Structure 1
Amino acid sequence: MFVSAVVSSLQPVNQSERSLNVSSRARMTNLHDVAKWPIFSLMEVELLNSIHQACVFGSGGNEAIFTTTDGDVYALGNNHNSCLGLGDIQSTLVPRKIEVLCGKGVTLMAFGSGPHVVVATDSGELYSWGHNGYCQLGNGTTSQSPERMAPCLISSSLGGCMISQVACGSHHTLLLTDKGEVFAWGYNNCGQVGSGATANINAPRKVSSLLSGKRITALACGQTSSLALVDNGEVYGWGYNGNGQLGLGNNVNQPSPCRVSSLSGVVISQITCGYAHSMALSDEGILYSWGANSYGQLGTGNKANLVTATRVGTDIGRFVEIAATHYSHISSAMLQSGMVYMWGQCRGQSVTSPLPTKFTCLDDVFACFSSPAVTWRPLRFETFVGRRALEDSLKSSFDNQENSDLKIMLEGKSIHVHKAILKIRCEHFRSMFQSHWDEDGKDVIEITQYTYPVYRAFLEYLYTDSVSVDPEDAIGLLDLANSYCETHLKKLCERIIKQGINVENTPTLMAAAIKYEAQELEDFCFKFAVNHMTAVVQTEAFQNLDDYYLKEFLTKAAKWGAFKY
């Protein structure tokens, strides 16, 4: 939702309104700057602007698959092992359509280092192509015939389930359904498919054993290892364990899922795998790592391998996101403050402790410092020429007295803004600044319903599309977003609250979620409270809960089974 022309000097309202134009698509958090990925550098601007999601892969980061907002699917690059899905072996620097996938609603993409590619559609279809020497395409064969050059529909017994996630190791694939079940296929020499044996699996097969009856919420693959996260915060691993990447306290391979016992008592919310190391993030923002460490990828300050999960970056702050890829030995993580750190093999250098960067998202670490430069997850972004200059221009114009035409007063403090931008960005102000309302002719408006920090954060959001407040102020901003019908801002506030939740503020945040009818946030806060029940009920905030919210929590907790012996 950015103005699509750089405004060097904002003029009075009527002139500004004629010269400013707004994109209809909402900007997503942590947008990736596509210019950092060299493979996209020759693309036409119009096609660049239409990209919805993309994967960059290959031994040199020289292959890419991307979808557009129109539902088309393109590929470009070296086409090693026909991994572009174009039906031939020709390399291309010009994006070519993967015709069979256009209009199919591709939503999920993953790739192995063979390479092979697996994609899923919004209707539940699953396609694969590329190298198939180890059954990694899941089509029932190990065929290297021309059929593997183009996307092939995988027939499987998923029971009509929708697909929530796809993850690939070097030559094996994991799939997660919306019912929390895991299916796997491909190379299985170390047990990475989780079948209980080491024979290759040529079609999707359900991973059971200790995962039976559990609801899995996330998957991650190393080169020859696999991890699964259960909805109760437990982590299970299987496959190759020669570097301790399963976190089991030994170096013995596991052909069936085993619980990562070194994380017992910790509620994990995120997992990720590098080439031969693993990382996990707890729901309290604590980072753990284990496995291979020859490049410092564990972030422990040395190069010693670890066979059990160990805390990392304890003196840095609260982590909110972690990243790694089976293609490389680099690790990255983001703090609640937005600071991005990296460590491991950074462009050939070994960095053994988390190193602060100037990046604003984890994706940029992999574009600039990973070897090879591949994506650790599918990118979702939008971009257009001049966006960076535009962002800087709008940011510098916020609360700038020299070129503003409106002053908003709160608690005796002033904020200088521009009516044109407020009208373009917010329906509330479009209604306020109509000719038949008194506010349209005013140079100063006083706001009494909200605090200065909350309202300032809201106005700054209108200029930058980003929010920087602590979780407690995010509650007030959530109230404002709810009142002004700002759906995107409401989601940003919910994210801030999720990333900042702790034992002390859980009751307050949960009460706010109930009050503002933020159901997803309410469920998140409730789950955190149940996972830390003993500590939460002893907090002052819990003791001060209104009877209504206390009753709501206790009733829901009882239905959850929190009070069963």
Structure 2
Amino acid sequence: MPVKDERGDLDVSKVVKPVFQSYFKDITATESAFQATLSSLKMLDVGKWPIFSLCSEAELQLVRQACVFGSASNELLYTTVNDEIFVLGTNCCGCLGLGDVQSTIEPRRLDSLSGKKIACLSYGSGPHIVLATTEGEVFTWGHNAYSQLGNGTTNAGLVPYHISTNLSNKQVIEVACGSYHSLVLTSDGEVFAWGYNNSGQVGSGSTANQPIPRRVTGCLQSKVVVNIACGQMCSMAVVNTGEVFVWGYNGNGQLGLGSSGNQPTPCRVAALQGIRVQRVACGYAHTLVLTDEGQVYAWGANSYGQLGTGNKSNQSYPTPVVVEKDRIIEIAACHSAHTSAAKTQGGHVYMWGQCRGQSVTLPHLTHFSSTDDVFACFATPAVTWRLLSVEPDDHLTVAESLKREFDNPNTADLKFLVDGKYIYVHKVLLKIRCEHFRSSLEDNEDDIVEMSEFSYPVYRAFLEYLYTDSISLSPEEAVGLLDLATFYRENRLKKLCQQTIKQGICEENAIALLSAAVKYEAQDLEEFCFRFCINHLTVVTQTSGFAEMDHDLLKNFISKASRVGAFKN
């Protein structure tokens, strides 16, 4: 039976095969040579995971997505630019999906899933795999002693099994695995669970194992779930109102309910009342959540400092994690480790918890640019906490080539003069990408256009967007870009601006952002800002922005707030 204690060893630790032991002993000696092989990879240095040293240079150049898993980080699945899936490793319990249990030190193609595009993937401790395609199909394989594959049996799954029971008309958009149970989230906000249930982790109300997917109901019956996560034997869901629901094992307080009793059905984390959560991440026996204000709360087991509180005392209530003053935009944890990580809006990556055998009790600033690197270099085992994305740099796509040409004076045939600075662009691209320029540049033979309506950072970000389809601008400056997008009727740009602005919202600027959203008819942003103001009503109403609020806007705000019950005792 799987252990409950957070320090317990998994019962699969003895399955590492001798052939792999010898290979992994030689990893350090070949490190420098291997890093040279990876010089053509960007976005992510897969070389930090030793198992990639078993791949040739040619194979590495084709990698697009990857997942490292297993009790000794000795299993690997990756996809290529041709949408082929390859696996290698010890193949414990048939977790490579090849139809056998033979280990392999050379990548073997997973033919049964050839051509399938992976949207998300998660793994359990057995290990077992749950994979969702971009079309919303779900496939499972590997260890199945507790029905965690959802195929109605307890037989090991040696090949990928397409789950159709109760999911045939559903599109799955997210998957999560605990030690021996599985969750999936559908596009309509429903959660389905199956597998090991000794502590209520499938949320059915009993402790009987669940052999096939069944919808998790109870408190989630009428809720729209937007994010899911699993600890070893617990489950979490974030709904679109920002509330967090939890169920399963709670011996270390990992459910955040203020107790240590197990919870067989979903229960709301009441201590987060008034706090709007965006994401949840689960470690072995601890939990992290990220709020709409960019703050992190943690609770659960803390014997390695994985809560980041400065001590090693477990916490059964949500506790703030202090990471300087910068806004957090990403949190990271995985159910097989006692490690936590976070990335700030400024690009800084912090880690805490069990790091290379040491206990780090406060967030520690790393030299990494990715939270993935934290788990590659410091977690035990060194597995991936999410599906990695790798992009080869030896061949530039059309989109990548266009990105490189933005603001390039050597190839440009037009330049904008904004605030005394030049921005170099190409007329033909502007005409192709923007209706405004299609008409304004039609008969314009000038090679310099002066622009005074918008600031340099805003106009540069707009022109760069036409080359890249993305914006790189602070949330504060994105308001100016929202104004431009509205003026030029660039609806997609308006959406991107709203997403960026949301990341910078706080009590002090919430009213100003709400005013901007109303002014520029940004309905999604308007609703987000309104909800934020309601959730932080006491502080927001004491700000100077609220005191100086436009009369009509104030009247509408009070009316709408009254309708949603904001002023009830």
- CA drift of 1:465 comes to 8.6
Counterpart in the other structure of 1:245: 254
Structure 1 residues 123-522: aligned runs within 5 Å: 123-144=135-156, 148-158=157-167, 160-313=169-322, 315-385=324-394, 408-411=416-419, 413-415=420-422, 418-419=424-425, 427=433, 437-440=444-447, 442=448, 445-458=449-462, 469-480=473-484, 493-513=497-517, 518=522, 520-522=524-526
Give the Cα–Cα distance (whole angstroms) in 1 for the partners of residues 194 and 81 of structure 2.
31
Counterpart in the other structure of 1:57: 69
- CA drift of 1:253 comes to 2.3
Counterpart in the other structure of 1:25: none
**Paired residue type of 2:506:** N
Tell me: higher relative CO, structure 1 or 2? Use CA pairs within 8 A at least 6 residues apart.
Answer: 1
Please give the per-residue CA displacement for 1:491-527, whole angstroms capped at 9, x wherever unaligned.
Answer: 6533321211123323333444455565544443343
- Runs of at least 5 residues in structure 1 that lack an aligned partner in the other structure: 1-29
Q: CA distance change for structure 1 residues 541 and 45 in 2, over 3 Å: closer, same or farther?
A: farther
Give the Cα–Cα distance (whole angstroms) in 1 for the partners of residues 94 and 533 of structure 2.
49
Over the matched positions of the two proteins, sequence identity in percent amounts to: 53
- CA drift of 1:450 comes to 0.8
The answer to whether the 8 A contact 2:414-2:427 is kept is no
- Runs of at least 5 residues in structure 2 that lack an aligned partner in the other structure: 1-41
Q: CA distance change for structure 1 residues 433 and 44 in 2, over 3 Å: closer, same or farther?
A: farther
Question: Aligned residue pairs: how many?
Answer: 522
Most deviating of 243-252 and 543-552: 543-552
The answer to whether the 8 A contact 1:422-1:430 is kept is no
Which one of the candidate residues 97, 112, 128 is aligned to 1:85? 97
Give the Cα–Cα distance (whole angstroms) in 2 for the partners of residues 66 and 556 of structure 1.
50
Q: CA distance change for structure 1 residues 407 and 419 in 2, over 3 Å: closer, same or farther?
A: closer
1:32 aligns with 2:44: yes
Give the Cα–Cα distance (whole angstroms) in 2 for the partners of residues 485 and 72 of structure 1.
40
Q: CA distance change for structure 1 residues 175 and 407 in 2, over 3 Å: closer, same or farther?
A: closer
Give the Cα–Cα distance (whole angstroms) in 2 for the partners of residues 491 and 376 of structure 1.
29
Counterpart in the other structure of 2:3: none
Counterpart in the other structure of 1:14: none
Q: CA distance change for structure 1 residues 175 and 466 in 2, over 3 Å: closer, same or farther?
A: closer
Q: CA distance change for structure 1 residues 479 and 183 in 2, over 3 Å: closer, same or farther?
A: same
Give the Cα–Cα distance (whole angstroms) in 2 for the partners of residues 355 and 520 of structure 1.
36
- CA drift of 1:543 comes to 6.0
**Paired residue type of 2:418:** L
- CA drift of 1:353 comes to 0.6
- CA drift of 1:158 comes to 4.2
Please give the per-residue CA displacement for 1:139-167, whole angstroms capped at 9, x wherever unaligned.
Answer: 111113xxx11111223224733223211
Please give the per-residue CA displacement for 1:225-257, whole angstroms capped at 9, x wherever unaligned.
Answer: 212223222222222222211122222222233
The answer to whether the 8 A contact 2:141-2:159 is kept is yes
Q: Give the secondary-structure state (helix, strand or coil) at the position aligned to 2:446.
A: helix
Q: CA distance change for structure 1 residues 215 and 499 in 2, over 3 Å: closer, same or farther?
A: same
**Paired residue type of 1:282:** T
Q: CA distance change for structure 1 residues 290 and 161 in 2, over 3 Å: closer, same or farther?
A: same
Root-mean-square deviation (CA, aligned residues, Å) is 3.9
Please give the per-residue CA displacement for 1:213-232, whole angstroms capped at 9, x wherever unaligned.
Answer: 33322211111121222322
1:66 aligns with 2:75: no
Q: CA distance change for structure 1 residues 496 and 31 in 2, over 3 Å: closer, same or farther?
A: farther
Q: Give the secondary-structure state (helix, strand or coil) at the position aligned to 1:438.
A: coil
Give the Cα–Cα distance (whole angstroms) in 2 for the partners of residues 61 and 517 of structure 1.
50
Give the Cα–Cα distance (whole angstroms) in 2 for the partners of residues 543 and 371 of structure 1.
52
The answer to whether the 8 A contact 1:330-1:342 is kept is yes
- CA drift of 1:337 comes to 2.2
Please give the per-residue CA displacement for 1:76-95, whole angstroms capped at 9, x wherever unaligned.
Answer: 33322211212222333444
